[in-house]
């Protein structure tokens, strides 16, 4: 028997196009249904190294959806997005801008943690274009179900996935962008980039700029 035939059959994976999660999207998706389907996704190799699929989390019909890059070490263990150090920084930013984390929906462009060993630590690795493309149907389905008024891309990976390879966060951060087929879009830096600032002073400045972007967002949601 060929190896393919002795592999246990995974419901929903039959006929799946290699390199895309599209065939796994349920016909009549709900958020819990999507999450359950994503839990068994093998559309790219990251399922092999990630502990679990880290699906989006938050208010089902949130006005604002935040999209990060991919789960980190902590998220991979806990199974929820932005619960590690970057998540704490996001929480600080939201609080400073007067946005309630319980009122938003938070997800990632890629739903498994990509890492390589470095000593005893697991070192974050950027997802590549094929992995981002493979995972995209989950994000599109989340956007279609949550129907946020505004989607905020946190960092270049999310921004380039949703706004195109030419998008530059450094030049266009904080702007509201209209694109056909998408909710109103905005991009800002990834909270991890603030954590990586070389010294306290630049970290403080970067945090202020992040909070300024989030305040523009808060104003837009209210208005
Ligand atoms: N960084 C991300 O992009 N997403 C997370 O969920 C955590 C860290
Ligand atoms: Fe599927 Fe995305 Fe995980 Fe790849 S990263 S296996 S596409 S859920």
- Closest Cα to atom 4 of ligand 2: 44
Q: What are phi and psi of 57, to 5 degrees?
A: -150, 145
CB of 82 closer than 6 angstroms to any ligand 1 atom: yes
- CATH superfamily, domain at 3-222: Uracil-DNA glycosylase-like domain (3.40.470.10)
16 pLDDT more than 70? no
Question: Rounded to whole angstroms, how far apart are CA atoms 171 and 167?
Answer: 8
Q: What is the mean pLDDT of residues 38-49?
A: 97
Q: What is the mean pLDDT of residues 49-78?
A: 98
For residue 223, the model assigns a pLDDT of 78
Domain-by-domain residue ranges, the chain? 3-222
Question: Rounded to whole angstroms, how far apart are CA atoms 100 and 98?
Answer: 7
How does pLDDT run across 121-178, given as a tens digit for each residue?
A: 999 999 999 999 999 999 999 999 999 999 999 999 999 999 999 999 999 999 999 9
Burial class (CB in 10 A: 0-12, 13-18, 19+), 4: exposed
The DSSP code for 209 is: H
Q: Which pTM does this prediction carry?
A: 0.92
Q: What is the mean pLDDT of residues 4-24?
A: 59
Whole-number Å distance, alpha carbon 53 to ligand 2 midpoint, is: 7
Q: What is the mean pLDDT of residues 30-47?
A: 98
Q: Quick one: which ligand is closest to 51's CA?
A: 2
**Which atom of ligand 1 is nearest the CA belonging to 190?**
3
């Amino acid at each position: 028997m060929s190896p393919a035939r002795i592999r246990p059959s995974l419901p929903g994976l039959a006929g799946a196009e290699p390199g895309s999660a599209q065939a796994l999207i349920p016909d009549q998706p709900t958020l819990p249904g999507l999450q359950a389907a994503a839990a068994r996704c093998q559309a790219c190799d990251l399922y092999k190294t990630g502990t679990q699929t880290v699906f989006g989390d938050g208010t089902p019909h949130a006005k604002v959806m935040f999209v990060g890059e991919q789960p980190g070490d902590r998220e991979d263990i806990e199974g929820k997005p932005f619960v590690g150090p970057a998540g704490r920084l996001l929480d600080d930013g939201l609080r400073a801008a007067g946005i309630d984390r319980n009122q938003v929906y938070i997800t990632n462009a890629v739903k498994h943690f990509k890492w390589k060993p470095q000593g005893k630590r697991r070192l974050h690795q950027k997802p590549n274009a094929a992995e981002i493309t493979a995972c995209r149907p989950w994000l599109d389905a989340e956007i279609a179900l949550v129907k946020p008024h505004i989607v905020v891309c946190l960092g270049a990976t999310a921004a380039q996935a949703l706004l195109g390879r030419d998008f530059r966060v450094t030049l266009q951060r904080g702007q509201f962008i209209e694109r056909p087929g998408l909710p109103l879009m905005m991009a800002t830096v990834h909270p991890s980039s603030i954590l990586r600032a070389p010294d306290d002073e630049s970290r403080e400045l970067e945090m202020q700029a992040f909070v300024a972007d989030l305040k523009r967002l808060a104003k837009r949601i209210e208005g």
